[in-house]
Structure 1
Amino acid sequence: MARTTSGPGAPEPALPPTLRRNAPLVPTDSAASRSLAAVIAILTFLAGLCAGAAEMVASSAGQWQGSVAQEVTIQVRPGPGRDLDADIARAATIARSEPGIGDARVFSKAEAERLLEPWLGSGLDLSDLPVPRLIALRLAAEPAADLKHLRARLTEALPGVASLDDHALWLQRLSTMANTFVGVGIGIVVLVLVATGLAVAFATRGAMAGNREVVEVLHFVGADDDFIARAFQRRFFGLGLRGGAIGALLAIAAFALAGLLARAARSGPAGDEIEALFGAFHVGWRGYASVILIGVIASLVTGVVSRLTVRRFLA
C-alpha cells in the first residue's frame, strides 16, 4: 500500500475506485452487474412467455365458448317401427317454431356417419347401425331462446327419440381447462418473480460485501443507512429496468414471430385443421400489456429487494 505524508506538497492518498469523484457507489458496468441484468432478462422473458400464453389460451377459450354457446343440437335416435325421416322433420318443425331459433340445419345420413369416422375409421358400412341423426340449431341474438321449453316440447312430441344438447357439460370442462391453464401460468410468473428477488438479494449482499470499506467510510463521514440503501436501490433498479426491458422486448418479438409463422402455416393444406384445434395464434393487446407489466414488476422487485437487503445487512 502506498504511504502518504502530511504537509504542503505531499501527494494525495490514492482512493479506491468507488470513492473517486463522480464514481458511483455501486458500479453497474462490472461483470457481476451485467450477469445480474442478463439473469433478470432471461427470467422476465420466461415469465412474459407464460403470461402471453395464458392470455392467448384464455382468449381462445372465450371465443370457443362464445361460438359453441350460440349453437345447440337435437339428436334424433332411430327406433323400431318408427319413421326416422318423419321424426326428424317433426323435430325440425318444432325447433323452427320456437322464438330465438335463427336456423335449423338437418344433417344427412352421410354427414352423420362421417362424424363417426374419427372413432370408427373411414370406409365402413354403417347402414346396419342405428346411427342417430342430428339437427344443428343456431340461436338468434334476440329474442333469447327458451331451451327448457324446447326440450319439454321435444320430449312430449318424441318421447325417448329426440333429445336436446346445449353443450353445457362441454362448456364447463372447457372453462375449467382454460382456468387451470391460466392459474398455472400465473403461478409460474409468480415463481419467476420470486426467483428474480432471490437473485437480486444474493447479488446485493455480494455488492455490500465487496464495498464494505466504502460503506464504513460513508458511515464515518455521516451518511445514514437510508442514504446507502437508496444508492443501492437506484443502481439495482437500473439493472432491473434494463434486464426487464430486454426480456419483455424479446418476449414480444417471440410472440410476433410466432404469429407470423402461424399465419404462414394457415395458408398451407393443414392450416384449417391447426386453426380448428389450437385457434388463431393471436396474443392481443392484453397479452402484450401483461408482458410489459411483468418487465416493470421485475424492475420494481429488483429495487425493493435490494433496498430491504441493504437495510437488513446494515442492521
Structure 2
Amino acid sequence: MTERTPRKSDTGKKERLVALRPMAPIVPPINVSGRALMVVIAIMSFLCAITLGAVTMVQEKAEAWQGDISREITIQIKPADGLDMEAALTQVRSIVLSFPGALSADIVDRASTARLLEPWLGEGFDMDELPVPRLVIVTIDENAPPDFATIRQTLADAVPAATLDDHRAWASRLISMARITVFIGVGVLSLMFATTMLTVIFATRGAMDGNRHIVEVLHFVGAETSFIASEFQKRFLLIGLKGAAFGGGVAAAAYLLLGLWQSNTMATVLNDQVTALFGRFTLSSAGYVGIIGIVVLISAMTAITTRLTVTRTIREIDRQRADPALAEIG
C-alpha cells in the first residue's frame, strides 16, 4: 500500500486546533482555600493599615505639639499682697521683649483666663475672689532662643511673683509618648506580618498537597524547580495582591470618611467626644503612602514565601525519592 502523505490543509487544521486548545494552568484556578487565604490577607492588611495610620497620626500630632511648645514659653504671675497685677503684667512683657530671641509677648486678659477656668469652676465666678494667676505667652525664635536662665534671674529681681516655664518637661513627655507609641505599633505590625507569612506557608503547603502529583510529574519529566515555583508564585501573588489591596483600600477609605465626617460635624457633642478620645482622623500623605507600602510589602511577602515553600517541597520530594524508607512514610 502506498503511504498517504498528509496534506498541507490537514497540517494547518491540526495547528489551528492546537492553537485553539486552552492551556490548563499548572496551579488550578482559585478555589475555596484560595478565597479563604484572600480574606485572611485582606483582614490582616486592613489591621496593618489601621495600625500604621494610627501610629502615623499620633507621631505627627506629637511632633506638632512639640513644635508648638518649642516656639512658646509661658510666664505665670501669682497674686500677692500689694501686687498691682496689671502693672506687673506690663512690666514682665517689657522685660521679656528686651531679650534677643523673644519675638512677641501676649498678655492673657481676664476674659480669656476666665474661659480657661470655666471647665473646673463653672460660669460666672468672680476672679477677684480667687487667687487666680495671670499668664504672659511669649513666642520665641526656635533657631536662636533667648537665654532662659538670664530671663528667670531678671524676672526674679524685678517681679518676684513671676515664674517662667519653658515647657521642657512637657516636650520630653511628648517625645517619650511618641517613641513608645511607634515602638508598640511596629511590634503589632511585626506580629501581623509574621502571622501573614505563616498563613501563606500553610496555604501553599495545602495547595501543594492537592497538586503534589502534578508537581512530581513535571519535576521528573524535566521541568525545572524555578519554573514550577514561578507558576505557584504567580498564582499566590495575585491572591495576595487582591487581598492586600482590598484591605488597605478599606482602611484608607475609613480614614478618609472619618476625616470628612469630623469636618462636617464640627461643634457637635458626638464629634467633641470622639475627638477628645481619639483626636482628629486626619491622615497625611505619608500615611496613605505607608498604606500603599503595606499592600506592596504583603503582596511581595506572599510571593516570596510561596516560592520558598514550593522550592522546599520539591527538595522534600527529591529526598523521599532518594530514600525509599522516607518515600514509604510519605
Does the pair score TM above 0.5?
Answer: yes
Distance change (3 Å), C-alpha of 1:43 and 1:28: farther
How many aligned residue pairs are there?
295
Q: Is the 8 A contact 1:60 1:279 kept in 2?
A: no
SS of the counterpart of 1:137? strand
Structure 2 residue 219 is matched with structure 1 residue 216: no
* 2:190 partner amino acid: V
The answer for the alignment partner of 2:5 in structure 1 is none
Question: Percentage identity across aligned positions?
Answer: 43
* 1:302 partner amino acid: T
Kindly report which structure 2 residues correspond to 1:61-76, keeping only aligned pairs within 5 A, or say none.
61-76=62-77
Structure 2 residue 156 is matched with structure 1 residue 155: yes
Q: Is the 8 A contact 1:28 1:34 kept in 2?
A: no
The answer for the alignment partner of 1:104 in structure 2 is 105
SS of the counterpart of 1:115? helix
Deviation at 1:297, TM superposition (A): 0.4
Deviation at 1:60, TM superposition (A): 2.0
Q: Is the 8 A contact 2:102 2:140 kept in 1?
A: yes
| Residue range with higher mean Cα deviation, 300-309 or 26-35 | 26-35
Kindly report which structure 2 residues correspond to 1:11-26, keeping only aligned pairs within 5 A, or say none.
22-26=23-27
Distance change (3 Å), C-alpha of 1:21 and 1:273: closer
Deviation at 1:179, TM superposition (A): 2.4
Q: Is the 8 A contact 1:60 1:280 kept in 2?
A: no
Q: Is the 8 A contact 2:248 2:291 kept in 1?
A: yes
The answer for the alignment partner of 2:10 in structure 1 is none
* 1:33 partner amino acid: G
Q: Distance in 1 between matches of 2:214 and 2:82?
A: 98
Structure 2's unaligned 5+ residue stretches are 1-20, 317-330
The answer for the alignment partner of 2:310 in structure 1 is 310
The answer for the alignment partner of 1:200 in structure 2 is 200
Structure 1's unaligned 5+ residue stretches are 1-19
The answer for the alignment partner of 2:182 in structure 1 is 182
The answer for the alignment partner of 1:299 in structure 2 is 299
The answer for the alignment partner of 2:259 in structure 1 is 259
Deviation at 1:201, TM superposition (A): 0.7
Structure 2 residue 133 is matched with structure 1 residue 95: no
Q: Is the 8 A contact 1:51 1:185 kept in 2?
A: yes
Deviation at 1:294, TM superposition (A): 0.1
The answer for the alignment partner of 1:36 in structure 2 is 37
Deviation at 1:167, TM superposition (A): 1.2
* 2:166 partner amino acid: D
- Root-mean-square deviation (CA, aligned residues, Å) is 2.7
Q: Is the 8 A contact 1:106 1:135 kept in 2?
A: yes
Q: Distance in 2 between matches of 1:39 and 1:267?
A: 39
Deviation at 1:109, TM superposition (A): 4.0
* 1:245 partner amino acid: A
Q: Distance in 1 between matches of 2:312 and 2:258?
A: 44
Deviation at 1:87, TM superposition (A): 2.8
SS of the counterpart of 2:100? coil
Between Structure 1 and Structure 2, which shows a larger proportion of helix residues?
A: 2
Q: Is the 8 A contact 2:100 2:146 kept in 1?
A: yes
* 2:158 partner amino acid: A
Distance change (3 Å), C-alpha of 1:193 and 1:77: same
Q: What is the TM-score of this pair, normalised by structure 2?
A: 0.80
Distance change (3 Å), C-alpha of 1:270 and 1:250: closer
Kindly report which structure 2 residues correspond to 1:47-62, keeping only aligned pairs within 5 A, or say none.
47-62=48-63
